[in-house]
Structure 1
Amino acid sequence: MINKLIAFLKGLPEKVKPHLHKGAHDGAHHAKVAATGLVGLYWNLSPTNRYRVRLAAFAFAILSIGIVLGRVTNVNRAVKIESSSKGLKVESSGVLELKLPGVKLNPEVYVFQSAEKVQVPVNIKVPGRLAFNAEKAKVLSARAPGRVERIYAFDGAQVEIGSPVVELYSPEFISAQQEYLLSSKTAQVLEGSKTMSDLLGDARITQQAAANRMRNLGAGDGDIKSIEATGKTTANLVMRSPLKGVVVKRNVEPGSTLSSGDVIATLADPKHLWFLGNVFEQDFRMIKQGQKMVLHLEAYPEKEFIAYANYIAPAIDPQTRALLIRADVENTDDLLRPDMFASGLLTTGTADAVVVPQSAIVRIREHRFAIIKVGPENFRRVPVKGYDLNSKSFAITEGVEQGWQILAEGAVLLNDRFAKQED
């Protein structure tokens, strides 16, 4: 580089050189004067400051030499920049193709399976809740004015058919008993007289009417037979359960006064429940009565409960914009409880689909992808459509063809390579 500088100076025109010599002579004179003053200032400084000045001068000299050498050696030349291929190809359809030259996937981590189309059920999700079957429930109510004397079965109590629930004092019931006893005694007297057969018939009719009145007030056949056998009335009316089940809700307290029609208690059979689900507008056309439904509950994540749709509401709910669908649920194991939230899968038909493990599906926001092997070192990430068959399987209805090699295990790991190449 120094040789180039010397050659440059030698190549200057002869007319320029005298001016350079003259300029150099004048500059040397002024520099000599300036240097004398600077030397005096320098030696007047303390040793520490003189050291700092020497360091600054040395650094400035190094910087100047670098600038000069940079300008002298600067040449315009083309620099070849090799573009590093990422190995990622993006197709217009949105499919990504990745090439991994020299990379061999571990078969214990990355497992491929051949795509085979099979018939799978087409399901729609139906959120809802469980409720008591209203057809298997009863409301126990007062059929005449009275007063609650005793309660036999409180909330949650198990009851059988005929089990006592409450005991009431009712003047109407006492009157009905007395009428029944009077007609019974009259009939017994008239039975021995053959000339009063017409009166006997009227007595029997009156006796039967009194018995029906007692039944309407809540008395059972056993209560009526007991009155006839003993010939005595009872002070209170015992209201009994009309079904086998539980007391869902009790509406009275001991000593409370009742009017005719007041609700005493609500009874239901916990073995028979309803599932009340909501079907949204886009699925209305696919539902009908009798379709099978599989229910899943958070309380029993590993269990499935089978139900069949038996009712579809004639109108949608204006608040939720959903259609009510109802299904009978058998609770033979007593695992279910009313008002439990449940999610139903309603089978509306069948379709051809490729069934893969959930681990084969890459989920990015609202989109679903599968990774396909198209060559020894080439892989494609393709968008797919489908739905969850269950917690372990996914049914691909669009995006994968018969015979393709689908990455069933390790799709998330390989997708990381796609993501890195996209960046």
Structure 2
Amino acid sequence: MKDKILSYLKQLADKAKHILDKVMHFGGHRLQLGFASASGLYWNLSPQNRNRVRLAAFAFAILSLGIVVGRITNVNRNVKIEASDKALKVEKSGILELKLAGVKLNPDIYIFQTAEKGVVPVDLKVPGRLAFNAEKSKILSARAPGRVERIFAFDGAEINIGSPIVELYSPEFISAQQEYLLSSKTAKVLESSKTMSDLLGDARITQQAAANRMRNLGANDGDIKAIETTGVTQGNLVMRSPLKGVVVKRHVEPGSAVSSGDVIATLADPKQLWFLGNVFEQDLRLIKPGLRMVIRVEAYPDKEFIAYANYIAPTIDPQTRALLVRAEIENANNLLRPDMFASARLTTGTTDAIVVPQTAVIRIREMRYVIIKVGDEIYRRLPVKGYDLNSKTFAITQGVEPGSSILAQGAVLLNDRFAKQED
């Protein structure tokens, strides 16, 4: 390199000498005058300006030297560009193929299974909520004007059939008791007289009518029999529960006046619930009564509650554009509560699919992928279609052929290698 630089500088010097000789031959005298004039101008400058001129000349010299060196060293040579070490192939269908040369996957982490096709249920997702079974619920209401004297069961209290709920003072109930007691005594007197059989019949009819009136006001057969046995009327009417369950809500306070028809309490059986689900209009053709439903709630993500559709609404809700589907749920362990949000998988049929664990499925936004092994060191990531059978398994309906070697565990880890190669 040094010899090349010296040779090039020598050539420049020879060319400069040749040009200078010509200039001196034709106008040497004028050139001498020019140099003398330039020299005089330089020395006539102030020391500060002369210093600036020297710095400019020095910079020009450095620049010229750089240009000379650059021309000498600017050699057209081939630059070796290393080929990419990526071993990823991308197909138009979205399938990725990765070759891991010399890499052996740890069998304790990466577990493969053979794809086998089987019959799986076809499920329809149905969002909804839980509610009390209206057929097992009752509204306890006042059947005559009165006043609340006492409350026996407050909100949340467990009750049985016949358990006292409230005690009412009701003038109509007292009047009905007196009518029943009078007709009962009249019937007993007329029973001893054989000549008054017609009057006895009328007395029995009046007695029965008074008993029915008491029943309509809320008295039970025990209350009626006690009046007939003791011959004494009760001061207040005790309203009792017609079912076994709980007091969901109490609507009156002690001492409050009630009118006929006023709601006193809401009673329900918490072990008998309904699931009220919404099926969208486009899925109407898939549902019918009797279909099996697997219901889940957020409070117990690992538990499944089985029910069967027993009612499909005859009309579509104009607001939600959904169809109401109802099913009865047994709540024997009291795990569920009314108004819980719930989701159901309604089985509408069966189809052929390949079942894999959830760990085999790679979820990227709305897409689902699995990885299969196609060679000793070659793996492919395939887009698939399917749905969740449950929290542990996934049904592949399209994208994988039976007999393929699917990565059942470790798919997310191996997918990281695909992602790095894509970058």
Q: TM-score, normalised by structure 1?
A: 0.89
The 3 A distance-change label for structure 1 pair 256 and 30 is: farther
Cα distance in 1, alignment partners of residues 36 and 137 from structure 2: 120
- 1:300 is matched with 300
Q: Which moved more, 1:373-382 or 1:14-23?
A: 14-23
The answer to whether structure 1 residue 110 and structure 2 residue 110 are counterparts is yes
Gaps of 5+ in 2: none
Specify the SS of the correspondent of 1:346.
strand
Give identity over the alignment, percent.
72
User: 1:61, CA displacement in angstroms?
Assistant: 5.9
Q: What code does the residue aligned with 1:116 have? A: E
Distance in 1 between residues matched to 2:22 and 2:296, nearest whole Å: 102
Q: Tell me the equivalent position of 1:335.
A: 335
Deviation, structure 1 residue 333: 0.7
Task: Name the CA shift for 1:203/1:36 in 2 (closer, same or farther; >3 Å).
Answer: closer
Shift of 1:348: 1.4
Q: Which residue is 1:71 aligned to?
A: 71
| Distance in structure 2 (CA, Å) of the matches to 1:38 and 1:285 | 108
Residues in 1 aligned to 2:94 and 2:344: alpha-carbon distance in whole angstroms: 34
For 1:284, the aligned partner's letter is L
Unaligned runs of 5+ in 1: none
Output the aligned Cα RMSD: 3.0
| Aligned 8 A contact 2:88 2:422 in 1 | yes
* Residue 276 (structure 1) shift: 0.9
The residue that corresponds to 1:5 in the other structure is 8
Residue matched to 1:348: 348
Query: What are the Cα deviations for residues 320-364 of structure 1, in whole angstroms up to 9, with x where unaligned?
Result: 222111110001111111111112111111111111121211111
After superposition, give the CA deviation of every residue in 1:269-294 in whole Å (9 maximum; x if it has no partner).
11100011112233222111111111
Q: 2:382 maps to what in 1? A: 382
Cα drift, residue 108 of structure 1 = 2.3
CA distance in 1, matches of 2:93, 2:343: 35
Which residue in 1 is equivalent to 2:22? Answer: 19
Q: Spell out the pairing of 1:130-279 with structure 2 (5 A cutoff).
A: 130-279=130-279
* Bigger Cα displacement from structure 2, 100-109 vs 349-358: 100-109
Distance 1:385 1:204 in 2: 77
Paired residue type of 1:237: L
Instruction: Give, in whole Å, the separation in 1 of the partners of 2:341 and 2:61.
Output: 83
Q: Per-residue deviation at 1:409?
A: 1.6
1:88 is aligned to 2:91: no
Give 1:246 deviation, angstroms.
0.6
CA 1:245–1:68: 2 relative to 1, 3 Å: same
Cα deviation for residue 223 of structure 1 reads: 0.4
* SS of structure 2 residue aligned to 1:195: helix
Task: Specify the alignment match of 1:316 in structure 2.
Answer: 316
Per-residue CA deviation, residues 206-261 of structure 1 (Å, 9 max, x unaligned), is: 11111111111111110011101111111111111000111111111112222211
Cα distance, 1:421 vs structure 2: 2.1
Q: 1:210 and 1:14, CA in 2 relative to 1: closer, same or farther beyond 3 A?
A: closer
Q: CA deviation at 1:381?
A: 1.3
Deviates more, 1:344-353 or 1:133-142: 344-353
SS of aligned partner of 2:154: coil
